Amino acid sequence: MTRDGKDIKKILINAIEHCVENDPANRSEDGSPYFDRPLVGFVSAVDELFGNYKSIIGSFHWTPSEVLAAAYGPEGPEARTVVCWVLPIHEETRLSNRMEDRYPSRRWAHTRNYGELFNDVVRKAAVDLILERGGRAAAPMLLREWSRVDDPAIGWASTWSERHAAYAAGLGTFSLNDGFITPVGIAHRVGSVVTDLDMEPTARSYVDYRENCLSCSGKSCGVCISRCPVGAISPDGHDKALCHEYTNGRAFRDLSKKYDAKHVGCGLCQTDVPCESRIPDPGFHNNKDKSWNRDEGDG
């Protein structure tokens, strides 16, 4: 069993891609996939960003070492690498949600619910593969110690942020609506595992943590502002409390029953926007004819 970092990286990437392409859990009611081909990135477990997240997010946010300590105990393995992936939401699902202006489409709700269950399949597969290769690993989101936190200073957060791990792994940057804009856009789900195996980190090509967002980069956009049905997004950013109140209200509880999906989500601000399926063109100006939707196949 090899512990060579380059071999393990290649094997992991191939395994995650194979899982997305072939696992039946990545299939919706009509047989189409929840997610398309994933992006995979790697970051050192001792990257300074994980320490910084203790102040940026909160002291409750785990470092990779704390993840393995939760999984294996305080005398457990030393964390060396965090493996992250982005699962781009399938085009038909994104198109269905573009048509909505108040609540998410059924396809979107099922991707949020059953697609995230498939994300757990990927998490387990990645952990199992690392164990087979002689390493040790844990998926933070699958640990019973993982929890959500309603922090007075920053609002809703959690003990491990998949998007912040993916940012550290060079997969994208944040946005005005608190989304995560990657080379395959903002409409996606994210996953990660922590391991004691050494793997070469993915380069972070960006400088600013909101570099891929036009509005946050001083460009004219703000399309996600108009997509929010309750005004939870403004030029000043994202009102987490208002967003949470809306998506956990009576209407969404009714949708949960109607759609047969425990977690419905919303995603309106992640669809019908210039960053839906790509990093938006820096030359974009907020236009009314939605020209960004014309070249869907180029994203």
Closest CA to 172 of 203, 202, 200, 212: 212
Task: State residue 4's pLDDT score.
Answer: 61
CA atoms of 222 and 42, how far apart (whole Å): 31
Environment class of 248 (CB within 10 Å of its CB; exposed 0-12, middle 13-18, buried 19+): exposed
Is 34 within 8 Å of 111 (Cβ atoms)? yes
CA atoms of 234 and 276, how far apart (whole Å): 18
- Average pLDDT, whole number, for the chain? 93
Q: What is the mean pLDDT of residues 262-284?
A: 94
Is 283 within 8 Å of 274 (Cβ atoms)? no
**Residue 1 pLDDT > 70:** no
CA atoms of 222 and 286, how far apart (whole Å): 7
SS3 65: helix
Closest CA to 130 of 66, 71, 216: 71
Task: State residue 5's pLDDT score.
Answer: 60
Closest CA to 198 of 84, 86, 85, 82: 82
Q: Which residue is associated with the tokens 């009714």?
A: 254
Task: State residue 294's pLDDT score.
Answer: 63
Task: State residue 251's pLDDT score.
Answer: 96
Distances (CA, A) of 153 to 6, 60, 260: 41, 13, 34
Task: State residue 89's pLDDT score.
Answer: 98
SS3 192: strand
**Residue 265 pLDDT > 50:** yes
**Residue 289 pLDDT > 80:** no
- Cα angle at 118 between 27 and 167, to 5 degrees? 120
SS3 117: helix
Q: DSSP state, 103?
A: S
pLDDT digits (tens, 9 = 90+) for 219-247: 889 999 999 999 999 999 999 999 999 99
Closest CA to 9 of 204, 200, 203, 192: 200
Burial readout 79-113 (b: 16 or more C-beta within 10 A, e: otherwise): bbbbbbbbbbbbbebbbbbbebeebbbbbbbbbbb
pLDDT cut 70: percent of the chain above it: 94
pLDDT digits (tens, 9 = 90+) for 103-145: 999 999 999 999 999 999 999 999 999 999 999 999 999 999 9
